[in-house]
């Protein structure tokens, strides 16, 4: 059994691998998490949320996290589309540029060097091993 998502559904193997149960630091609760093969917005899981509630969409491209208010402010064309309104979902065949601001970047743990020291990330994203 193990992990149960905040929406009460047990995660799929894909969701567990994507870290669905590990919210971004500073976010104490993600109200709804679901997976899809495309960036898909599901009315039945988004609209019942309060404006400040977070939801996540797990895709092969990564985890997208936003509040209901973020969704309405940044994806108004989705909310107003007949697909979302009448069929209850809208998916993008290709992820729009504006969605990438909601892509969760997972932090990678530091990697030890051959001498046992831990890499420190320098400005510009390059790791430096060893001591001064």
- Residues sharing a CB contact under 8 Å with residue 47, sequence separation 6 or more, in sequence order: 68
Q: How far apart are CA 90 and CA 88, in angstroms?
A: 7
Q: What is the pLDDT of residue 127?
A: 52
DSSP output for 37-60: SSEEEEHHHHTTS-TT-EEEEEET
Q: What is the pLDDT of residue 109?
A: 65
Q: What is the pLDDT of residue 22?
A: 42
The number of beta carbons lying within 10 Å of the beta carbon of residue 61 is 15
pTM for the full model?
0.62
Q: What is the pLDDT of residue 1?
A: 40
User: pLDDT tens per residue, the chain (132 residues)?
Assistant: 444 444 444 444 444 444 444 445 456 689 999 999 999 999 999 999 999 999 999 999 999 999 999 999 999 999 999 999 999 999 999 999 999 999 998 766 666 666 666 655 555 555 554 554
Q: Which of 103, 106, 78 is nearest to 92 (CA)?
A: 78
Q: What is the dihedral of CA 56, 47, 93, 108, to 10 degrees?
A: -10
In degrees, rounded to 5, the angle at the alpha carbon of residue 59 between the alpha carbons of residues 56 and 65 is 25
Q: What is the pLDDT of residue 105?
A: 86
Q: What is the pLDDT of residue 18?
A: 42
């Amino acid at each position: 059994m193990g992990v149960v998502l905040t929406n009460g559904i047990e995660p799929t193997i894909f969701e567990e691998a994507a870290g669905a149960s590990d919210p971004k630091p500073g976010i104490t609760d993600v109200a709804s998490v679901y997976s899809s093969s495309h960036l898909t917005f599901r009315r039945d899981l988004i609209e019942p949320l309060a404006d400040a509630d977070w939801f996540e969409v797990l895709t092969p491209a990564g985890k997208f996290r936003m509040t209901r208010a973020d969704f309405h402010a940044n994806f108004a064309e989705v909310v107003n589309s007949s697909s979302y309104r009448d069929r209850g979902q809208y998916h993008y065949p290709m992820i729009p540029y504006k969605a990438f601001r909601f892509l969760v970047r997972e932090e990678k743990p530091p990697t030890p060097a051959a001498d046992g020291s831990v890499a420190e990330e320098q400005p510009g994203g390059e790791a430096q091993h060893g001591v001064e």
